[in-house]
Amino acid sequence: MANIKGNIKTCKCLSIGLVFTNIVLLLCTFAITLAWFLQRQKFEPKEHSLLTCLPSASDSKDCFSRVDDLCCSNLTLSDSIKHNTKKRYEEQTNEENTHLAQHCLSSPGNITAARVVGIDKDIAPTAILQWRQNNHGGFLNEVKYLSGRFVIEKNGYYFIYSQVTFIEHSVNEHDKLSHSIYRQTPLNNEKLVESVRSHCRLQTGESDSSRFVGSVFLLNKGDEIYVHVTDPTKVSRAEHANYFGLHII
């Protein structure tokens, strides 16, 4: 009987020991899990760390929001790549079109062509741009100029081109700056070519951007060609920032 009682007592002690051991193991497991979770939270990427960190074009401009000494934009990496690729393509296209326009202007002979350079500062800004007629680089040859418009005097295919430089102050990305060339005839008013630019989300403060448009169109005698912008108050008044021309081909 004494042996049986001793065995029962030993079993009870072992059971209590096992229960205590299991409790300790559970507590250790919980502590390890909690420590792992807290460590993961510590290194979890913050919202701004998921954004693209890009160098500012000018250290004096607050074109980025600084959080924890990081200069990050609100563009994702893919958005940034698309934006920069599009910008580079437009710059290269503008250069090629500008070279084409210069080549047309340098063609020999008494050709039908016209070019005006610079906005007329003596006239209040209007949607139909008003140009300086006697500025350096401008000329008229078998084409009339009247109140911002070229009046065609000879039927034919013309290469028409224009560059407009916008000065932008706001950061409202929903605002769009449109630069278009129109043809007005006795029957209708037709948009020939257009360049539309929305505000870059990286941009704040004042900046400028030049937009070039150009293409070939069949024009008839009496057609009036002019440049139209959506916001004339944002057009640069710099000497050679804007020009408008055409050349028969």
Strand ranges of the sheet holding 224-229, from the earlier edge strand across to the other edge: 143-146, 149-152, 224-229, 176-184, 189-198
pLDDT at position 76 is 55
Q: Which backbone phi and psi does 56 adopt, to 5 degrees?
A: -75, 145
Mean pLDDT computed over every residue of the chain: 75
pLDDT in tens, 103-156: 555 554 578 999 999 999 888 999 999 999 877 788 999 999 999 999 999 999
DSSP secondary structure, 96-128, as one string: HHHHHHHHHHT--SS--EEEEESB-TTS---SB
The model carries a pTM of: 0.56
The pairing of strands 139-141 and 189-198 is unpaired
Task: Spell out the domain ranges in the chain.
Answer: 2-72, 101-248
CB within 8 A of 19, min separation 6: which ones? Answer: none
Distance CA 242, CA 10 (A): 101
CATH 2.60.120.40 fits domain 101-248: yes
pLDDT in tens, 86-108: 566 566 555 555 555 555 555 54
| DSSP structure class, residue 235 | B
| CA-CA-CA-CA dihedral for 88, 89, 91, 95, to nearest 10 | 140
pLDDT beyond 90 at 36: no
pLDDT in tens, 161-199: 999 999 876 555 556 788 999 999 999 999 999 988 655
